[in-house]
Amino acid sequence: MSLMLAEMTWPEVERAIAAGMTTVILPMGATEQHGPHLPLGTDTFRAASLTEGLSGALPEALVAPVLPVGCSDEHTGFPGLLSLDHETLARLIVDCGRRIAAWGVRRLVLLSAHGGNGEALELARTRLQEQASGLEIRILTSSTALSEAFAAVAAAAGISPDDVGLHAGEGETSEMLHLRPELVRMDRAAAGYAGSMSEVMPRLRAVGLRGVTPTGTLGDPRAACASRGAKYLAAEIDGYRRTLATEADPRFEVVAR
């Protein structure tokens, strides 16, 4: 039986819930520029792949369709942008979360492959804890997954964290070469903002990517390769799996005691 809600019938969902499949993963991507060499749907493709990998390790999980639009206003000024206000995305998650809880789901995993969704996710968690109190909310974001394992994959290949980059750099480009190589324009791949990724964050918040990198790239994608992309994705999935296994929702820890 498929675990994808969009491919299931309602009796199949009913039976799955009765059999204890009471987790739903809601994957979230974005439609935003990813440099001159990656498609706008990069984070949406990545969200689908990360979710597929995670669901393989979570036998009790059903998978909701990927949300293809997130909070991406930091990419304002680059054509192709679709974006939601934090409030809009939070409300969408809360609205769906309330319905999901009503058909018997106990845990909602919000898996975002786009870092800019973080504020909306926290807002949604707070509200769902008030409005759907039986529903445990877990948040998995790209920052959660910047695990030592991910960094180790880069280091083993001699790739610096600044080349891996925060956006459309070696990391995401390698992942896309693994996932959708036909969509990667490697002949257009060029070094973007090349400074420290940790130091650029305050400037990004103040002026957006357009003010920091004319191409939209943070990092250097030129050394990207598909096999390393597969390893990055596996490291992220492993990080998510361990996060879910170790960090229980404090409210539910109290209930368990």
Closest listed residue to residue 66, CA positions, set 121, 113, 122: 113
**Mutual orientation of helices 170-179 and 42-56 as an angle, nearest 10°?**
70
Please give the Cα distance from 105 to 132 (Å, whole number).
11
Residue 184: CB partners within 8 Å, gap ≥ 6?
Answer: 37, 38, 173, 176, 177, 224
- At residue 77, what are phi and psi to the nearest 5 degrees? 105, -15
Q: 42 or 141: whose CB is closer to Zn ion? A: 42
Using CB under 5 A as the binding criterion, the count of chain residues that bind Zn ion stands at 2
Q: 16 or 237: whose CB is closer to Zn ion? A: 237
Please give the Cα distance from 205 to 126 (Å, whole number).
23
Select the residue whose beta carbon is closest to Zn ion and give its number: 43
Q: Segment 150-189, which members bind Zn ion (CB under 5 A)?
A: none
User: Minimum CB separation from Zn ion for residue 235, in Å?
Assistant: 16
Q: 97 or 171: whose CB is closer to Zn ion? A: 171
User: Minimum CB separation from Zn ion for residue 46, in Å?
Assistant: 7
Q: 7 or 119: whose CB is closer to Zn ion? A: 119
User: Minimum CB separation from Zn ion for residue 33, in Å?
Assistant: 9
User: Minimum CB separation from Zn ion for residue 105, in Å?
Assistant: 28
Cα angle, residue 240 at apex, residues 14 and 62 outer, rounded to 5°: 10
User: Minimum CB separation from Zn ion for residue 34, in Å?
Assistant: 6
User: Minimum CB separation from Zn ion for residue 253, in Å?
Assistant: 33
> CB atoms < 10 A from the CB of 140, how many?
26
Binding mask 205-244 for Zn ion (x = CB under 5 A): ----------------------------------------
Q: 42 or 173: whose CB is closer to Zn ion? A: 42
Q: 50 or 101: whose CB is closer to Zn ion? A: 50
Q: Segment 10-69, which members bind Zn ion (CB under 5 A)?
A: 42-43
Q: Which amino acid is at 99?
A: R
- What string of DSSP letters covers 75-108? GTTSTT-B---HHHHHHHHHHHHHHHHHTT--EE
Token reading at 164: 């891996």
What is the binding site for Zn ion (CB under 5 A)? 42-43
